[in-house]
Structure 1
Amino acid sequence: MAKIIFLHPDLGIGGAERLVVDAALALQKRGFQVTILTAHHDPRHAFEETRDGQINVISAGDWLPRSIFGRCQALCASIRMLYITIKMMLYFNCDIVFLDQVSTPLLLLCMFNYPTLFYCHFPDLLLSQGRSGLKGLYRYPLDWLEEFSTGLADIIFVNSGFTKQVFFKTFRSLTKQNPRILYPSLNTNYFDTTRAVKPDAIKAKPKTFFLSINRYERKKNLALAIKAYSELEEASRSKVTLVMAGGWDNRVQENVQHFDELETLVHKLGISDQVEFLRSPSDQEKLWLLRNALTLIYTPHNEHFGIVPLEAMYCETPVIAVNSGGPTETVADGYTGWLRDSNSYDFSRAMQGVLENLKHLDKVGRQGKERVEKHFSFKAFGDDLEEAVVARLTGVWPKINWMAKIALAFHFSLAFGVLYWMAFGLGVP
């Protein structure tokens, strides 16, 4: 029985974490011995499968800082990941290592000839905002490390055709790589067997509300849902409400700030009595929301993939999503939902159309579930992942020689030396 270790920075609640958990479950069901090693795992803010013993989860290194006075978060994430990687190398035996989000540990794993799989949700360097002055200098070695280390993985996965295009545009030195598209999927058995629970904090009744589910982060463009709802005809707004639900972590400053920003926006638009907020709903509460919403309002622009539209479609709930990124590969416009430009007018018109054609929603919902079962099933996801794991375990892969290892060690030390100087010598953000 092959042993697989997943290295993940923070096993909370989110699309990346959902994929890691599903990947672990899929391989475990196929006879592999799986362990997830993470720097942070709080059972109060984590998926049920990581709490109830279905997956072996080990947390280490949470004593290391997530930031330095609110700055250098990317550097700290790399340090935390390197710590759990070294711990794995010292105390665990494994046949293959699966990483995602932070690619820096691939430098160490490559030096010691560990078989590796890396899942690229999206290039991290594109997620960093504000690169002027000292921060630009600070980010340069981090960006270089990300591109260089990503190329060291034996097999690279991306979550969509959109991300694959971005991968090649961003990592220009990796044009000879051939990332495999591995669409995230749903553990449909969980959706079929889990009892849905209505959130106590939500007053809305079934099929009387639009739903937005996403982390409380500015890049998720959540204000679009609120503005679009506010532009509905007043007679329509009197019949439906808007529920804003999403992951919220008081350790994450942006979560706290953006939640307050959205509450302020609701008050400014005069719709505070028609919009309900819910922070970090449980899996059972999330399932109730998805099953009972009129439609899902999915607002991120150029989302890498987006698992929530699949969850909604499997629950037979149509989706209104921004016409860019991953949703263009998951949502069939006019068939399982509607794709619209990222502006409040177009979204509001789509929402108004839903209210004027309620009898049509059941058909759209059924078509959405059929699409998920056909193209994004948990079985297909597991089969593709297992194929890659077996290929890596049984195939012939070149091992780097000692000269290359010296070069890796030099570049690794140089990059982190520069980052240390930038962070502590110059105090950059």
Structure 2
Amino acid sequence: MAKSKVVFLHPDLGLGGAERLAVDAALALKGGGYQVSFVTSHHNRDHCFSETVDGTLPVTVVGDWLPRSIFGKFYALCAYVRMIYSALYIVLFLKPDLVFCDLVSACVPILRLSGCKVLFYCHFPDRLLSKKGGFLKHIYRIPLDWIEEFTTDRADVILVNSKFTRYVFKDTFRGIKKTPAVLYPSINTKFFDDAEIQSLDFLEPALPRGSFVFLSINRYERKKHVELAINAFGNLKSLVSAEIWNNVRLIIGGGYDRRVVENIEYYSELQNIASELELADKVYFLKSPSDLQKVALLRSCNVVVYTPPNEHFGIVPLEAMYHKKPVIAVKSGGPTETILDLKTGYLSDFDSTEFAKAMAKVVLDNKVVEQMGEAGYKRFCEMFSFEAFSKQLNSIVTNMVQTHST
């Protein structure tokens, strides 16, 4: 019996939480015996996850010649067009049994033309992610918002990444009667386990031996509020002794795409903040660290700081927990479902002073760091392991495919 064919449709296979989720979902289904491949409208082989270039997951790029924007505007409209074009390619040439798509739902009705099942994974309603604008922007968004709700409802199954996102989904899409199931993202722990031990020699200047390291990993986007980590780090100076302060460092690593103006601007803004606080010699900035560099950072740091408020889920806290690192995060959104306050880390108000207090607690007590790290690892294994994620996703897809074949 031929293996069922599952195609993943994703707009841009870069480096980010949504991309990591799609890649991990593909690995989970491949491990379950499905024939898996990707279709995307952009795939930079120098700015992507290794599984999409080393032959593990075949990738077909379709429609990259279509514009990403029109005179720096209409990004959402262009994304809709690019995804619809990619969907037409799938319908005409691939004939899958099921399509797993995320981020952009406009393609769902097109995919249904092939008679395949469609699973849509909602990371967060796009209309809520759209930046506010004037009257013309409001008019522009009206049809796009309607299309988003209408096309999302056309999916056979809708999944979301957290209970927080499910609540927001139901409150936003009042016309959709389906209740999405929660599929918590996980991480491919096998990659972390198999990764060769690497030093932090790639840091410039070299990291002083024996440093206590705080690590922040996020894309260079303003909504990630990485400045909170820098400002809190600056406040930490007044909460610890000079000897301890001399030994602490902050490493900031994040996805950086030269095509994205915001990445360029925000990176510069963060560097300026560090300079103004006289922290330039204690804060390290990395652009798009490789997968192996990221593993080295997670293994070598002491504590992970996670700054986005109202984050839909957040993969980084899981990666930290798996590496037995406490997490200091904002007390809202997805991290409230992954992090146990005072047990696996600290959930803090969105305030640099409060963040600094949490940072001081871990710097001053290595025993707390160790205990929280162990508790975080145990919680990860119980609730967010790749095995649990794979089992749930394979069960959902199997039910969908069997229903399709009968």
Q: TM-score range by the shorter chain?
A: over 0.9
Contact 1:221 1:300 in 2 (8 A): yes
Whole-angstrom CA distance in 2 between matches of 1:301 and 1:40:
28
Whole-angstrom CA distance in 1 between matches of 2:397 and 2:307:
34
Query: What are the residue-to-residue correspondences of 1:355-374 with 2, within 5 Å?
Result: 355-374=363-382
Query: What are the residue-to-residue correspondences of 1:286-365 with 2, within 5 Å?
Result: 286-365=294-373
Paired AA for residue 211 in structure 1: L
Whole-angstrom CA distance in 2 between matches of 1:206 and 1:9:
42
Q: 1:93 — aligned with what?
A: 95
Whole-angstrom CA distance in 2 between matches of 1:207 and 1:81:
46
Q: 1:22 — aligned with what?
A: 24
Instruction: Note the C-alpha offset of 1:396.
Output: 6.7
Contact 1:96 1:114 in 2 (8 A): yes
| Identical amino acids, percent of aligned pairs | 49
Q: Which 10-residue stretch deviates more, 44-53 or 236-245?
A: 236-245
Instruction: Note the C-alpha offset of 1:91.
Output: 1.2
Instruction: Note the C-alpha offset of 1:90.
Output: 1.4
Out of 33, 36, 41, the position equivalent to 1:34 is: 36
Q: 2:222 — aligned with what?
A: 218
Q: 1:188 — aligned with what?
A: 189
Provide the secondary structure at the position in 1 that maps to 2:328.
Answer: strand
Out of 252, 265, 268, the position equivalent to 2:273 is: 265
Provide the secondary structure at the position in 2 that maps to 1:212.
Answer: strand
TM-score norm. by structure 2 comes to 0.95
Whole-angstrom CA distance in 2 between matches of 1:108 and 1:83:
9
Contact 2:211 2:247 in 1 (8 A): no
Provide the secondary structure at the position in 2 that maps to 1:10.
Answer: coil
Q: 2:139 — aligned with what?
A: 137
Paired AA for residue 92 in structure 1: L
Contact 2:328 2:346 in 1 (8 A): yes
Whole-angstrom CA distance in 2 between matches of 1:76 and 1:97:
21
Q: 1:408 — aligned with what?
A: none
Contact 1:207 1:294 in 2 (8 A): no
Whole-angstrom CA distance in 2 between matches of 1:49 and 1:105:
25
Contact 1:103 1:150 in 2 (8 A): yes
Cα 1:397/1:72, change in 2 over 3 Å: farther
Cα 1:33/1:61, change in 2 over 3 Å: same
Whole-angstrom CA distance in 1 between matches of 2:133 and 2:202:
43
Contact 2:210 2:247 in 1 (8 A): no
Instruction: Note the C-alpha offset of 1:322.
Output: 0.4
Instruction: Note the C-alpha offset of 1:379.
Output: 1.0
Instruction: Note the C-alpha offset of 1:363.
Output: 1.7
Q: Which 10-residue stretch deviates more, 358-367 or 73-82?
A: 358-367
Contact 1:196 1:285 in 2 (8 A): no
Cα 1:199/1:218, change in 2 over 3 Å: farther
Instruction: Note the C-alpha offset of 1:42.
Output: 1.2
Question: Please, what is the CA RMSD of the aligned residues?
Answer: 1.5
Whole-angstrom CA distance in 2 between matches of 1:99 and 1:237:
47
Provide the secondary structure at the position in 2 that maps to 1:74.
Answer: helix
Whole-angstrom CA distance in 1 between matches of 2:351 and 2:260:
28
Corresponding residue pairs, total: 397
Whole-angstrom CA distance in 2 between matches of 1:17 and 1:206:
34
Instruction: Note the C-alpha offset of 1:118.
Output: 0.2
Deviations 1:163-213 (A, max 9, x none): 000001111111x21201000001111111111432513422465211110
TM-score norm. by structure 1 comes to 0.90
Cα 1:111/1:209, change in 2 over 3 Å: same
Whole-angstrom CA distance in 2 between matches of 1:259 and 1:396:
47
Provide the secondary structure at the position in 1 that maps to 2:38.
Answer: strand
Q: Does residue 229 in structure 1 map to residue 237 in structure 2? A: no
Whole-angstrom CA distance in 1 between matches of 2:310 and 2:343:
21
Q: 1:246 — aligned with what?
A: 254
Contact 1:291 1:315 in 2 (8 A): yes
Contact 2:95 2:114 in 1 (8 A): no
Contact 2:223 2:308 in 1 (8 A): yes
Query: What are the residue-to-residue correspondences of 1:99-118 with 2, within 5 Å?
Result: 99-118=101-120
Query: What are the residue-to-residue correspondences of 1:357-396 with 2, within 5 Å?
Result: 357-395=365-403
Paired AA for residue 224 in structure 1: L
Paired AA for residue 221 in structure 1: H
Provide the secondary structure at the position in 2 that maps to 1:43.
Answer: coil
Unaligned runs of 5+ in 1: 399-429
Q: Which 10-residue stretch deviates more, 69-78 or 192-201?
A: 192-201
Whole-angstrom CA distance in 2 between matches of 1:33 and 1:218:
38
Contact 1:7 1:38 in 2 (8 A): yes
Paired AA for residue 154 in structure 1: D
Whole-angstrom CA distance in 2 between matches of 1:85 and 1:129:
26
Q: 1:420 — aligned with what?
A: none
Instruction: Note the C-alpha offset of 1:302.
Output: 0.4
Unaligned runs of 5+ in 2: none
Q: 1:405 — aligned with what?
A: none
Instruction: Note the C-alpha offset of 1:36.
Output: 0.5
Q: 2:179 — aligned with what?
A: 178
Contact 2:41 2:63 in 1 (8 A): yes
Paired AA for residue 122 in structure 1: F
Q: Which 10-residue stretch deviates more, 199-208 or 262-271?
A: 199-208
Instruction: Note the C-alpha offset of 1:28.
Output: 0.5
Contact 1:206 1:292 in 2 (8 A): no
